[in-house]
Structure 1
Amino acid sequence: MKRSLITKKLSSLTSDQKLLYRKIVFILAAGFCLTPWASPPIALMLGIFLALTHENPFHRISRPASKYLLEASVIMLGFGMNLAVVLKAGASGALFAVGSISATFILGYFLGKWLKIPIKASGLISAGTAICGGSAIAAVSSVINAAQSEISVAMGTVFVLNAVALFVFPPLGHVLHLTQTQFGTWAGVAIHDISSVVGAASHYGQSALYTATAVKLSRALWIIPISIAASYIFQHQNKKSGESVQHKPQVPWFIGLFLLASIARTFIPQVASWSPIVTHISEAGLTLTLFLIGAGLSRRMLKAVGWKPMLQGVVLWIFISATSLGVIMLVVR
């Protein structure tokens, strides 16, 4: 009875009043994500729920805001990490990079041909799975002149799998009795976006968080050579269709600032004394980032993802998750 009264009351509001109502709800939800009661999975699900039930009233600014907030939060996270830990974790993650990235692209190519997925959309899904989710898709799409529909398909596929990983990986890690280092390495390799990597790893433990962040950032550097390779692979095809070709991939400059923050934490004693406060702020920022990413979902994006791209994404994700887990359990302690 109460629900029907609320529904009737909302339906009687003018369009401006409804917009104001959605803005208030969105701001209150974002504020909640900055409290100690909001965990990364809760923030993501809250954002998705509002996006699908109320629509995002700030959709024009929430996507760029989430990008810059994520980068700023990762840089601040560097102030809590000793440089030796970063280099060790990055080196261990680099051992998996060449083999896993190459294998993912090869498998993705043949899956795309078998499922008859447009080659650019298939390539973007492979890039998002192999490297770092939405960031890799954005970078590669800019140099191969992918259509907006192809970008939406790849983004939607990776988004759904990212959300699943955030909930599935921590319980699996506990069931498999993975150490902090093992789980952090696995999350950094097998989860698509750094936001979900950090969300899952922070749920597992502080050491896992630091390892996962370093591994994922070292993996993100592969955006540059992969984008350059993609631009030349698609250059001939784009010229035949009369499209202009870009050769400037988006460089993840924030990784350099993350390393500088870690260097400051390691060699400047004053920085080490206030790094716990900065780390706490960065974790709150990352939780809010997940809310904004969830709120960026739309029904149109979900509709754009057919079963074939989703099947390719799932198969690639299972492949990279299973193979990397097997290697990590053998060689990482």
Structure 2
Amino acid sequence: MQVSPLPTLPSRLATRGVEVLPGTLLCAAIAAVSTVIGSFLPMLGSAIPAVVIGVLVALVRTPGPRLRPGIGYSGKFVLQCAVVLLGAQLSLASIVEVGAESLPVMLSSLTVCLLGAWLLGRALKIDRDLTVLVGVGTGICGASAIAAVSPVIKAKSADIAYAISTVFLFNILAVLIFPVVGHALGMTPHAFGLFAGTAVNDTSSVVAAASVFSASALGFAVVVKLVRTLMIIPISIGLAVMEGRRSGEGERFTPRRVLRLVPWFLVGFLVVATLTSLGAVPAAAADLLTQVSVFLVATALAGIGMSTDLRAIRTAGLRPLLLGGILSVLVASTTLGVMALTGAF
């Protein structure tokens, strides 16, 4: 008879808590320092110092096995919790409005990115799987899209690691460059939220770039980014069909498999936004949740900074990096072009 794991859940959670605590506390300490830095330099905010300190720590001394679980936990789960809390800033009506407004810009940039990846990957003679991973990572939502698509195309672990490292490199550059571009073009917080949410490919970097630009751009940018994240579903289904035809082993997509592609933090974000819409979250509580989410973002970015594998980027060659760079520029320029055509700024 199979024993239910439910009775052992408290002990397993306790074990997991002890495992991740040291690394998480280190990330939180870096976030605290970054928050102080951001209070003196508001243009930087707490996000950029956190990721820079994290990278510097990793360069000076690679985190050991005692710290690594918590660092990984911070870079993923803590960030997802931060996104959930950002739902307290928005109502469901505003989310629907944002989705409708961002759709033309988002679909245009995604189409250009995927077409560019196909053409440039062939021209640069880059492996098909690596081209797909860099393309979806740049066009949709960074590591989340890469993680969702990898099992669909049966990608090798080396390709997955390189694609994530490549996308992460341009995420960091986007955090540094996009706010400068936004201010230079005289964007409003609303316009910059659309720009960052569409053209920056990873949730952490979207949050960081929007935080640096202005606090009022953050909520809008996150909603645009989460709408864009939903593109994982049709892209994964399309790639599964193509892979099935190519290998002769087509796999049926059931509703349950489709639902598994929806990130849990997107559901959590919508739940919090629903509670806010119903008046269940008082204004004071919403402000507190927003402040907590900003600190959690800094904690997560510290973890992401310390997780950067610079050696993997150096040893894998320049062509995939070139592909990622060109695609990032294509996505950003397409986003700005469509925004200009539609009068979004």
- TM interval, short-chain normalised: 0.7 to 0.9
For residues 165 and 224 of structure 1, what CA distance do their matches in structure 2 show?
Answer: 25
Letter in 1 for 2:320: P
SS of structure 2 residue aligned to 1:332: coil
Partner of residue 56, structure 1:
63
2:125 to 94, 99, 116: 116
1:107 is matched with 116
1:218 aligns with 2:244: no
Kindly state the Cα deviation for residue 28 of structure 1 after the two structures are TM-superposed. 4.7
Alignment of 1:287-302 (within 5 A): 287-302=298-313
Letter of the 1:109 counterpart = W
2:269 is matched by which residue type in structure 1?
F
Q: Render the CA deviation track for 1:73-97: whole Å, top value 9, x for unaligned.
A: 1011101223333222222122223
Normalised by the length of structure 1, the TM-score is 0.86
- Describe the shift of the 1:144–1:270 C-alpha distance in structure 2 as closer, same or farther (beyond 3 A): closer
How many residues matched?
308
Residues 239/61 of structure 1: CA separation in 2 closer, same or farther (3 Å cut): farther
Q: 1: CA distance between counterparts of 2:70 and 2:115?
A: 36
Q: Does the alignment pair 1:265 with 2:263?
A: no
Write the mapping of 1:230-309 to structure 2, written as runs, cut at 5 A. 230-238=239-247, 248=257, 250-268=261-279, 270-309=281-320
2:344 aligned residue: 332
Ranges in structure 2 where 5+ consecutive residues have no aligned partner: 1-20, 38-45
Asked if structure 2 preserves the Cα contact closer than 8 Å seen for 1:82 and 1:265, the reply is yes
How many Å separate the matches in 2 of 1:245 and 1:265? 40
Q: Which residue of 2 aligns with 1:166?
A: 175
TM-score, scaled relative to structure 2? 0.83
Alignment RMSD (CA, Å): 2.2
How far 1:65 sits from its partner (Å)? 3.7
Equivalence for 2:51: 44
For residue 125 of structure 1, what is the aligned residue in structure 2?
134
Q: Percent identity?
A: 33
- Structure 1 residue 313 corresponds to structure 2 residue 296: no
What letter corresponds to residue 40 of structure 1 in structure 2?
Answer: A
Q: Deviations over 1:269-315 (max 9, x none)?
A: 54333110011001100111111111111243223442100111111
Preserved contact between residue 238 and residue 245 of structure 1 (Cα < 8 Å): no
In 2, Cα distance between equivalents of 1:328 and 1:121: 30
Question: How many Å separate the matches in 1 of 2:161 and 2:298?
Answer: 24
- The superposition leaves residues 120-144 of structure 1 with CA deviations (integer Å, 9 ceiling, x where unpaired) of 0000100011101111011111211
Answering whether residue 201 of structure 2 is matched by residue 189 of structure 1, we say no
